[in-house]
Every structure is written in C-alpha cells, then in structure tokens.
A and B are shown apart, each in its own frame.
Chain A
Amino acid sequence: MPRADSRLRINQQDGITLIEFVDRNILDEANIQQIGEEIGELIDAAVPPQILISFSNVDHLSSAALGTLITIHNRVKSKSGKLRLANIDPQILEVFVITKLNTLFEIHDSTDSAIASFK
C-alpha cells in the first residue's frame, strides 16, 4: 500500500512496477530519504523486482537524489532484478552524463521503450 504522504505515483503493469515522482524538484533531503524508503519497499515486495522510474515530472535533482538512485540500483541488482530509468529531461540527463551515471543506469527515452526492454 502506498503511504498517505507518498512522494510517488505507483502503478503495476505486467509484473513491472512503474514509478513517477510527485515533486518537480527532488532536492529536499527528507523527501529523498522517503523516496528511497518507499522504492526500497517496492523492491522488496517484487520477486524479482522489475522497476521503471519515470522522470517525466522532474525539473531538478541533486547529488543526494543521485545517491538514492544508486542505492536503489544496488538493491535491485542484489535481488537479480532490473531497473530502468525513462523520460529524463535533457538538462537532468546532462547531470547523469557529467557523473557518468548514464553508464551505470539503463536509461530510455520513453516509458514504452523502457517497458519493452524488460522482455
């Protein structure tokens, strides 16, 4: 069950957990921590986890948010799951490129492309 104060919109589709962010700015540490905890619970609930995170609503993120995404990546990997990122604004994608995290994450242009990649 999503939390009443959830920072996420969550949908399930064909064994894939689709996650969108409520907030346009993923900067605030308390929110980032909550996001990490919520996605962690979703990872633990799925066997194996197939997680798709869409950034379609996101204008800003910080290195703290990147850190949480890395922790999510490591957690999914430890459960032999799959993680995909999609719909990343070009400015935010540049942050991934500068930090070379575009080589760590599998990033797709669209939700459809990301969903297809799970098959």
Chain B
Amino acid sequence: MSRGDTDPARSVSAQLSDVPDEIRDFEDRFVEAAGKAGYEQASCFALRLAMEEATRNAFRHGHADLPDEPIDVAYDITPEIVTITVRDHGPGFDPTELPDPTAPENLARPHGRGVMLIRAYMTDVRFNDTGNEVTMTYRKPD
C-alpha cells in the first residue's frame, strides 16, 4: 500500500517545548502515524499514554529548574515495533527508587504513577545511567 503525501512521518526526531498545543499536535501526529502503520486502537491508546507520561515527566521533573528549555523526543515506527526516546537536560533520577504507587500507604497520593503506567503498557523500558533519558519499545501484539 502506498502512502499518501499527507501521511505523517514514521521516523521523527524533534525538540519539544512545554506548550500544550505543541505537545498535543506532536502526540496526535505520532498516534496518527502509528495508526497508519497498522497499529490498532488499543495499541494507539498505549502509545499515546506512554508518550504523554514520558514527556510530562521530562518537563515536570527533569526540567523543573529549566522551564524554558525544550526536551528531545524521537520515535521510529515500523510495522512491528515502535521505539520512543525522550531525553531531558536535567540531572536525571534513579527509577529504582520510585515508591510503589499501588502500596496501600501510597494509594491516595496524587502523584507517582507515570513510570508505572509506561512500564505496564510498553514492551520494554530502559533508562540511561544518568536517568534523564528513557527509551521505550512497543511490539505489535500478534
């Protein structure tokens, strides 16, 4: 099947600013590209959620002291695998030290579920040693 001229790119590397409309447009193009690459609605739900949580974490935590600085976001969509990389320019964090948001004592806390949701929906999630870059892969279900 040939792709039309208006199809969104399936391999993108970009800088993203903390501007709601810009983030929403970026996510919309990403999800549209995944849909046109054959990913079903449930997969697109997972991909949008992971992209949203990772970019939000980068801005809110990584760039807490860098509010005007953009983050680096890249994705590559093949018919079988989607790879997303989100990198901020902050000091990083240790993902192994995140409290379990499902523990009874944390259940009523309003924060701390983003990384957990990414891990739940993506096939593989890796942080770099500094903890300021996350690479997420999603394999299309059989």
State the CA gap A28–B49 with chains docked (Å).
12
Most buried by A among B52, B108, B110, B116: B110
**A60: which of B45, B110, B111 is its contact (CB, 8 Å)?**
B45
Q: Give the size of the chain B interface in residues (CB under 8 angstroms).
A: 23
Digitize B93-125: 1 where CB-to-A-CB distance is under 8 Å, 0 elsewhere: 000000001100001111101101100100000
Number of A-B contacts (CB under 8 A): 56
Q: Give the size of the chain A interface in residues (CB under 8 angstroms).
A: 24
Q: Main secondary structure on chain A at its contact with chain B? A: helix
If A91-B45, A98-B120 touch, whether A62 touches B52 (CB-CB below 8 Å) is: yes
User: Is there an interface contact between A74 and B113, defined as CB atoms closer than 8 Å?
Assistant: no
> Top 6 closest A-B pairs, CB basis?
A67-B110, A63-B113, A100-B102, A70-B110, A63-B114, A98-B120
> Please, which residues of chain B bring their CB within 8 A of the CB of A104?
107-108
Query: Is there a chain A Cβ closer than 8 Å to B141's Cβ?
Result: no
* Chain B residues at the A interface, C-beta cutoff of 8 Å: 20, 23-24, 27, 42, 45, 48-49, 52-53, 56, 101-102, 107-111, 113-114, 116-117, 120
Sample of 9 A–B contacts (CB below 8 Å): A28-B23, A60-B45, A63-B56, A63-B114, A67-B110, A67-B111, A98-B120, A99-B101, A99-B116
